[in-house]
Amino acid sequence: MNNVRIRPPRKEDGPILWKLKYGERDPEWKKWDAPYFPLVHLSKEEFLASYRFGDDSPEKWMIEADGIIIGTVSYYWEHEPSRWLEMGIVIYDPAYWNGGYGTAALKHWITHLFDSMPLVRVGYTTWSGNDRMIRLGEKLGMTMEARMRKCRYFDGKYYDSIRMGLLREEWDQVKD
């Protein structure tokens, strides 16, 4: 999708991101993004005081579709000395789900991570209740590297934790 791009956050993105993330009391996106962890609502002032942008925020970038911010891609170090990096993606507005926006954004992010860091693997963790995230990983050529059975309890039911991963040489073969 040519209309999807990722970019570092800018100062003026802060209020937009706050509204996307905290603008609703029980947002639909949170039902899929680790719903077993509660969303701790921050006031706009609290969020903006902690908001990092530009070079201060290399680990979280904005996703834009046709110039509109629809979500974020991010990474964190599971174990930096061994270069074990995990990534994430959130598209906040359900109107942009199932339209290829997440696939396009994660393709850009994976390419960026491999191009800008000495990594041999990228991956993410999701849960068995999020079929879209599992399919997204499969679409991108990722391998299900681990399934921890029944370790996520949500809404009266047990779910598996799913680890997806991709090696640089695998990405080099499928990215185009």
Tell me the pTM.
Answer: 0.94
Sequence spans of domains, the chain: 4-174
CA distance 42 to 53: 18
- Predicted confidence at residue 125, as pLDDT, reads 97
DSSP state of 163: E
The domain 4-174 having CATH identifier 3.40.630.30: the answer here is yes
Q: Which has the closest alpha carbon to 114: 169, 176, 56, 57?
A: 169
CA distance 85 to 153: 25
Chunk the chain into consecutive blocks of 10 residues (it has 176) and report each block's average pLDDT, rounded to whole numbers. Answer: 88 96 94 94 93 88 96 96 96 95 97 96 97 96 97 96 97 87
